[in-house]
Amino acid sequence: MPRAVAGTAAVAAILLLALHPFGMPPEAGRAAAVSLAAVGLWASGLVPGHITALLFFLLGMLLAVAPASVVFSGFHSAALWLVFGGLILGAGIRETGLGERLARSIAGRFDGAYWRVAAGMVAMGLALAFLMPSTMGRVVLLLPVVLSLADVLGYEAGSRGRTGMVIAVAMGTFIPAFSILPANVPNVVLAGALESLYGVPPVYGSYLLLHFPVVGVMKAVAIVLVVWLLFRDRPTKQAVMPSAGSMSWSERRLAVILAVAVGLWVTDFLHHISPAWISLGAGLFCLLPRIGVLSVAAFDSKVNYPSMLYVAGIVSLGAVVAESGLGDILAEGLLSATAVAPGETVHNFIALTAANAVIGLATTLPGIPAVMTPLAENIATATGLPLMTVVMIEVLGYSSVILPYQAPPLVVAVQLGGVTMADMTRAVLALLLVTVFLLLPLDFLWWRAMGYLP
């Protein structure tokens, strides 16, 4: 299967380069070919993600798909530096033993049947989404603790149970948080575009009421079910939860650094410092002589540099698609193919949700509101739906993740959590099936009850 996916993407990329179908300009065709080849390799996992990222950078420059500042834009994105700081924090949490101490202190709450473990991971991630606005920050903060918790509960490295715990906390803190306005990057992009283009800022309370019952609560329950079905496991050893004794000086210093970082993350609406620079600053303090907790040798051996290339490649892909105009071409083509019409409420709801989700395959999730919101007024006229309804359907589209590479936080979780892209893909696709056949119909009924759909 991985070879088939990669091979199909390669053939399609060659055809795009040679034929320029659908009247696509040459620069958009080149961008489409390079992006499709990268997506095929990332989705298949045939080669390591960081190697695919390097190939994307190389082809992007050789084929001149965009200026160098765009092709390499992932390296000066805030996401990359948030991840870098998080990698240092994660290494410090493991090196000092603070992660194991935290895990032991909460292990009793999660011990028992595997569904309880999965539910605990999802609940922990979703609860933190109300406090920390940065998904990357939440993932970076939680994963070292979850890995230590897996050790304490007896789920060894490489086990299905450990994989499920990582996937549960990653998906739990990312996907249901689409229902909380400031908790994910696509939400913030949507809010900014809606206000700047149409002068209508979304309201936190009404946004939460519209999305949280299904996208938040029901999708969280679905994640627990998916993880339990795919990864339920018995520990290979009995959970051991004795007291870890008093904290060492390095643990105390790291605890202070983490407390300050979390405090700054939670209050970013007051100081407006990017979560990335908070993460980088916390990581820097971990490395400082005498103050820090990581030696040079530990920094060299325990910080996963390839994951940074992977994240940079994913972020750059979205920038290349936007710069080349490929996103607009795909959006307009998809909308013309959906045959939306006034009065066809069910068809319009399904078609627009599907179109938004598919656009995310090319633009990654943050690109969906950037591409689709400027088209919302025309779509509202074509469908007869209110403008706010059309814009809010974008949320249903980008919360219906099709493949993990679309979502940098899931990519980071794969890298930091030591799970395979294949396992994350299985979980994402299983959740997509539940979303399509159960959650979207529930959303339709809820939206109609709320007056968003005629």
Q: Which residues contact 222 (CB under 8 A, 6 or more apart)?
A: 431, 434, 435, 438, 439
pLDDT number for residue 93:
79
Same domain, 80 and 61: no
Q: Examine the fold and report which residue of 273, 289, 306 is the final residue of a domain before the chain moves on.
A: 306
Same domain, 127 and 243: yes
pLDDT number for residue 240:
56
Q: Count of domains in the chain? A: 2
Same domain, 82 and 210: yes
User: Are the beta carbons of 410 and 416 closer than 8 angstroms?
Assistant: no
pLDDT number for residue 279:
81
Same domain, 187 and 112: yes
Question: Between vectors from CA 291 to CA 286 and to CA 295, what angle results, nearest 5°?
Answer: 55
Q: Which amino acid is at 13?
A: A
pLDDT number for residue 6:
47
Whether residue 454 is predicted with pLDDT greater than 80 in this model: the reply is yes
Helices (H) and strands (E) in the chain, counts: 25, 0
User: Are the beta carbons of 350 and 396 closer than 8 angstroms?
Assistant: no
Q: What is the pLDDT of residues 132-148, one digit of tens each?
A: 667 877 887 888 888 88
Same domain, 106 and 179: yes
Same domain, 61 and 109: no
pLDDT number for residue 23:
58
Q: Does some domain include residue 360? A: no
- Name which of 12-26, 185-199, 419-433 the model is least confident about: 12-26
Same domain, 43 and 156: no
Q: Does some domain include residue 142? A: yes
Q: Does some domain include residue 345? A: no
Q: Does some domain include residue 265? A: yes
Same domain, 185 and 268: yes
pLDDT number for residue 402:
92
pTM of the model: 0.76
259-275: average pLDDT: 78
- Token readout for 254 is 């790291």
Q: What is the pLDDT of residues 77-86, one digit of tens each?
A: 776 787 788 7
Same domain, 138 and 42: no
Please report, rounded to a whole number, the percentage of residues in the chain having pLDDT higher than 90: 26
Closest of 175, 183, 168 to residue 120, by C-alpha: 168
pLDDT number for residue 298:
80
**Range among 44-48, 168-172, 365-369 rated most confident:** 168-172
pLDDT band for 245, please (50, 70, 90 cuts). Answer: low
Whether residue 329 is predicted with pLDDT greater than 70 in this model: the reply is yes
Whether residue 15 is predicted with pLDDT greater than 60 in this model: the reply is no
What is the rounded CA–CA span in Å between residue 214 and residue 435? Answer: 10
Please report, rounded to a whole number, the percentage of residues in the chain having pLDDT higher than 70: 88
300-313: average pLDDT: 78
Q: What is the pLDDT of residues 58-68, one digit of tens each?
A: 988 988 888 99
Residue 379 burial (CB < 10 Å; 0-12/13-18/19+)?
A: buried
Same domain, 120 and 159: yes
Q: Does some domain include residue 258? A: yes
221-227: average pLDDT: 97
Same domain, 96 and 2: no
Q: Examine the fold and report which residue of 306, 330, 361 is the final residue of a domain before the chain moves on.
A: 306
Handedness of CA 262, 268, 270, 271 (dihedral sign): positive
Handedness of CA 123, 129, 134, 137 (dihedral sign): negative
Q: Does some domain include residue 125? A: yes
User: Are the beta carbons of 341 and 385 closer than 8 angstroms?
Assistant: no
Same domain, 45 and 82: no
Q: Does some domain include residue 319? A: no
Q: Does some domain include residue 436? A: no
Whether residue 160 is predicted with pLDDT greater than 50 in this model: the reply is yes
200-209: average pLDDT: 82
Which residue range forms the structural domain that includes residue 227? 76-306
Whether residue 4 is predicted with pLDDT greater than 50 in this model: the reply is no
180-193: average pLDDT: 80
What is the rounded CA–CA span in Å between residue 200 and residue 424? Answer: 37
Q: Examine the fold and report which residue of 37, 65, 93 is the final residue of a domain before the chain moves on.
A: 65
Question: Between vectors from CA 89 to CA 220 and to CA 269, what angle results, nearest 5°?
Answer: 60
Closest of 276, 259, 251, 222 to residue 401, by C-alpha: 222
